[in-house]
C-alpha cells in the first residue's frame, strides 16, 4: 500500500491502472511529504493511519472515482461537423482541447488523405509498431505517429526524423516514464545531424531554436514529438505529466548542427557515425541559459564563463552524481547527468584558433565547474549520498572541498549551433542524450 | 453542413496486469516492510507509520528498504521486490511526491 498526496491522486490512479494494479491500496495526505518539517509529516501520517490499516487488511477496491483528466477513444476514425470547412476545423480543435489531446495551439486535422500522404514519407508499413511509449503504454504505430505529425504541421519528408526521435525517447536508458511524468520540466531537445538536416531545411543558424518561418521544420518536428508523447504515450498534463510549472521549451525544441561554420567534426561524427550518416539525438533537458560573452577571445576566459552556467545549485542535476545515477530499475540502466552545450560559431572558432578541440573544452568545463561539497548537498538527501558513496563520507568533515558538478568530462555534450555573435546556449540536462541513425 | 473525418491520433494501449498481494488477516505479529524511494520526508512518514502501527498492534516487526538503483529517487528492481516479498508479510511505501 502507498502514501499518496491529494494533488497526485489522479496521477496515482492512472499510473496504477497503467502499471497493471488498478486496485492498489492508497492512503492519502493533504500535501506531499517533501518540503515538510518532521512534525508536519507526522501529523499528516497520524491523520491518515486508519487508511493504512484498512489498506493492509481489507481487499482494496478500484480507486475512488475521479475524472480521468482526459478522454480515451479507441475508434480508429472520428467525425466532426460544421457550417463550413473552417468552422469544422474549429469544432475539431475545440473537441480535442476538451479531450486534452491538444498542446494548446491549433491543430491541423489529420484527415485520412493527409495521414496517408504523411506516411508516404517513410518506407515503413502504416501498422508497423515503432515502439510502445510510456507512461501509458501506447502502441506507437507509424499511422499514429503520422496522425500526430499532421496535427503538428509536419510534411511527409519529416517522418524519418520524427520516427527516429520516437525511437530515441523509448530507449530504456532514457527512462521515459521518469521524464514524462515528473514534476520537473523535462523537454526533449532534438539535434539533427547529417545530410538530412540540409535536405529538410532544418535551421542550424540564426534563431535556430525558433520562432520564425526559417525554423519551420524545427518547430513542427519538435511539436510533433510532444504531441506523440501526449497522444501515443499518454503524457497528459495534470494527469500523467505532473510538471509543477511547465516550460515553453516543452512545446518544441529542435535544431540542426551548424557544420558549415563549425571548425570541428560534427556531434554525430564524435560518436563514430560517418559524415554522410543522418542521425537524431534526443536529450531531455530542464531549461536553458545563455553562453554569452562578447568580451573575450581567449579560450581560458571563454570557458571560465561557460563553467559558471553549470554551477547552479537549484538545478536538479547539479551534483546529482553524489547520490547515485538515474536508473530504470527494470533494465538496470544507469545514466550520468549530462548538460548540452550549443556553442556558437564565433566562440567555436576562437577555441579552434587556440588549439582547443571539444574534448579540451569538456575537460576544462569539468575542471572549472566546481562547487563546495556543502553547496552541492543543499538539495540532496544525505542518506542517498551515504548509500551511493560510502567511501566519500569524510566530506562531511571537509564541507568546503571543491567537487565537480557532474561526474566526468563526457557529461558535457557539445554541438555548434547558431549564427554570428558570441551567444550560445547551455541546457541543464536530465540524464544522458541518445543518438540513433535515421532510416528511410 | 460540412463533414470532416479524421484519423484518431490517440494510440491503443497495451494492457499490463500484475496480481495484487493478498491482504493480511491481522497485523499483530506480522513483519511489515517500509519502502522509501529517498524522496524527502518519506523516511519520516514511514518511521511514524511504524510507530503508530506498533502502538495499535504490539509485536509487529518492521524492516526498512530502499531500492538498489537510482539517485535522488532510488528504485526497487524486480530482484529487490522479490527479496522484500520473501522477507515481509506486507509493505507500506512512499514512492513519489
What residues in A contact B44, CB-CB < 8 Å? 33, 38, 41-42
The residue of chain B with its CA nearest to that of A19 is: B16
DSSP of A21-32: -TT--EEEESS-
Can you read off the three cell numbers belonging to residue A106?
A: 491549433
Judge: B2–A387 Cβ closer than 8 Å, yes or no.
no
C-beta of residue A50 within 8 angstroms of C-beta of residue B46 = no
Cross-chain CB nearest to B41 (options A33, A82, A84): A33
Cross-chain CB nearest to A132 (options B9, B14, B92): B14
| Mean pLDDT over each residue of chain A, to the nearest integer | 95
For A269-280, write each residue's pLDDT tens digit: 999 999 999 999
Residue A92 has pLDDT above 60, yes or no: yes
Judge: B9–A20 Cβ closer than 8 Å, yes or no.
no
| Stated length of chain A | 440
**What are the angstrom distances between the C-alpha of A137 and each of A10, A50, A234, A431, B14?**
17, 34, 8, 21, 5
DSSP of A425-438: EEEEESS--EEEE-
From the CA of B53, how many Å to the nearest CA of chain A?
8
- Between strands A279-292 and A434-437, the pairing is antiparallel
Q: How many CB pairs under 8 A join A and B?
A: 240
From the CA of B77, how many Å to the nearest CA of chain A?
5
What residues in A contact B26, CB-CB < 8 Å? 57
The residue of chain A with its CA nearest to that of B14 is: A137
Mean pLDDT of A327-341: 94
At residue B75, φ and ψ (nearest 5 deg) are -110, 150
- What pLDDT does A69 receive? 86
- What pLDDT does B15 receive? 87
At residue A362, φ and ψ (nearest 5 deg) are -60, -45
- What pLDDT does A63 receive? 55
3-class secondary-structure state, position A364: helix
Q: Which residue has the higher pLDDT, A225 or A13?
A: A225
Cβ contacts of A244 within 8 Å, gap of 6 or more: A183, A184, A185
For A22-37, write each residue's pLDDT tens digit: 878 888 899 999 989 9
What kind and span of H or E run contains A16?
helix A9-18
Distance of CA A41 to the CA centre of its chain: 31
Query: Of B27, B42, B68, B71, which to mutate for an interface test with A (greatest number of A Cβ within 10 Å)?
Result: B71
At residue A326, φ and ψ (nearest 5 deg) are -55, 140
Distance of CA A394 to the CA centre of its chain: 35
pLDDT band of B97, cuts 50, 70, 90: low
Q: Give the other-Cβ count within 10 Å of A241's Cβ.
A: 23
Mean pLDDT of A203-228: 97
Cross-chain CB nearest to A34 (options B14, B18, B40): B40
Judge: A34–B52 Cβ closer than 8 Å, yes or no.
no
Q: What angle do CA A24, A27, A33 make, to 5 degrees?
A: 120
- What pLDDT does A23 receive? 79
Residue A118 has pLDDT above 80, yes or no: yes
From the CA of B14, how many Å to the nearest CA of chain A?
5
- Longest Cα–Cα distance of chain B, Å, equals 73
CA distance B92 to B49: 9
pLDDT band of B94, cuts 50, 70, 90: confident
Mean pLDDT of B17-43: 91
Which value does ipTM take for this structure?
Answer: 0.93
Alpha helices in A68-187 (DSSP H): 85-99, 112-119, 142-152, 159-169, 176-181
Judge: B45–A136 Cβ closer than 8 Å, yes or no.
no
Judge: A381–B69 Cβ closer than 8 Å, yes or no.
no
Cross-chain CB nearest to A232 (options B11, B42, B92): B11
Mean pLDDT of A372-399: 96
B55 at interface of A, judged by CB pairs closer than 8 A: no
Comparing A21-35, A103-117, A122-136, A259-273, the range with the smallest average pLDDT is A21-35
Q: How far apart are the first and last CA of chain B?
A: 49
Amino acid at each position: 500500500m502507498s502514501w499518496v498526496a491529494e494533488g497526485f491522486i489522479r496521477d496515482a490512479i492512472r499510473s496504477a491502472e497503467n502499471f497493471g494494479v488498478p486496485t492498489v491500496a492508497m492512503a492519502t495526505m493533504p500535501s506531499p511529504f517533501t518540503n515538510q518539517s518532521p512534525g508536519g509529516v507526522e501529523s499528516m501520517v497520524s491523520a491518515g493511519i486508519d487508511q493504512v490499516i484498512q489498506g493492509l487488511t481489507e481487499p482494496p477496491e478500484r480507486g475512488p472515482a475521479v475524472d480521468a483528466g482526459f478522454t480515451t477513444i479507441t475508434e480508429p476514425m472520428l467525425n466532426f461537423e460544421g457550417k463550413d470547412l473552417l468552422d469544422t476545423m474549429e469544432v475539431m480543435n475545440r473537441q480535442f482541447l476538451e479531450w486534452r489531446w491538444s498542446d494548446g495551439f491549433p491543430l491541423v486535422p489529420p484527415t485520412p488523405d493527409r495521414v496517408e500522404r504523411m506516411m508516404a514519407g517513410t518506407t515503413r508499413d502504416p501498422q508497423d509498431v515503432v515502439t510502445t511509449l510510456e507512461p501509458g503504454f501506447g502502441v506507437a504505430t507509424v499511422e499514429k505517429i503520422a496522425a500526430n505529425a499532421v496535427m503538428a504541421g509536419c510534411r511527409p519528408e519529416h517522418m524519418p526524423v520524427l520516427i527516429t526521435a520516437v525511437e530515441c525517447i523509448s530507449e530504456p536508458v532514457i527512462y521515459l516514464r521518469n521524464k514524462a511524468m515528473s514534476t520537473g520540466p523535462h523537454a526533449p531537445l532534438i539535434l539533427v545531424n547529417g545530410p538530412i538536416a540540409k535536405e529538410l531545411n532544418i535551421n542550424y543558424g540564426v534563431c535556430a531554436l525558433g520562432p520564425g518561418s526559417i525554423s519551420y521544420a524545427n518547430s513542427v518536428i519538435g511539436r510533433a514529438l510532444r504531441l506523440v508523447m501526449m497522444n501515443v504515450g499518454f503524457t497528459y498534463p495534470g494527469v500523467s505529466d505532473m510538471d509543477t510549472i511547465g516550460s515553453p521549451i516543452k512545446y518544441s525544441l529542435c535544431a540542426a548542427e551548424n557544420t558549415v561554420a563549425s571548425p570541428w567534426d560534427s556531434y554525430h561524427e564524435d560518436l563514430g557515425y560517418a559524415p554522410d550518416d543522418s542521425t537524431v539525438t534526443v536529450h531531455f533537458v530542464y531549461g536553458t541559459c545563455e553562453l554569452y560573452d562578447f568580451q573575450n577571445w581567449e579560450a581560458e576566459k571563454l570557458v571560465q564563463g561557460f563553467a559558471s552556467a553549470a554551477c547552479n545549485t537549484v538545478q536538479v542535476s547539479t551534483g546529482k552524481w553524489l547520490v547515485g545515477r538515474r536508473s530504470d530499475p527494470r533494465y538496470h540502466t544507469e545514466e550520468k547527468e549530462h548538460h548540452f552545450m550549443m556553442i556558437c560559431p564565433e566562440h567555436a572558432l576562437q577555441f579552434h584558433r587556440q588549439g582547443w578541440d571539444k574534448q579540451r573544452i569538456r575537460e576544462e568545463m569539468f575542471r572549472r565547474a566546481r562547487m563546495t561539497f556543502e553547496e552541492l548537498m543543499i538539495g540532496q538527501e544525505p542518506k542517498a549520498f551515504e548509500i551511493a558513496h560510502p567511501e566519500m563520507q569524510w566530506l562531511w568533515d571537509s564541507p568546503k572541498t571543491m567537487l565537480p558538478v557532474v561526474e566526468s568530462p563526457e557529461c558535457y555534450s557539445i554541438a555548434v549551433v547558431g549564427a554570428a555573435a558570441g551567444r550560445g546556449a547551455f541546457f541543464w540536462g536530465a540524464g544522458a542524450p541518445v543518438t540513433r541513425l535515421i532510416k528511410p | 453542413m460540412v463533414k470532416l473525418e479524421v484519423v484518431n491520433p490517440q494510440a491503443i494501449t497495451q494492457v499490463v496486469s500484475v496480481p495484487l498481494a493478498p491482504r493480511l488477516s491481522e497485523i499483530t505479529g506480522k513483519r511489515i516492510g517500509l519502502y522509501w524511494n529517498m524522496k524527502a520526508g518519506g523516511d519520516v512518514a514511514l518511521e511514524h507509520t511504524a510507530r503508530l502501527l506498533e502502538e495499535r498492534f504490539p509485536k509487529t516487526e518492521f524492516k526498512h528498504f530502499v531500492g538498489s538503483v537510482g539517485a535522488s529517487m532510488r528504485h526497487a528492481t524486480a530482484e529487490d521486490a522479490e527479496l522484500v516479498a520473501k522477507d515481509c508479510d506486507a509493505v507500506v511505501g512512499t514512492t513519489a511526491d
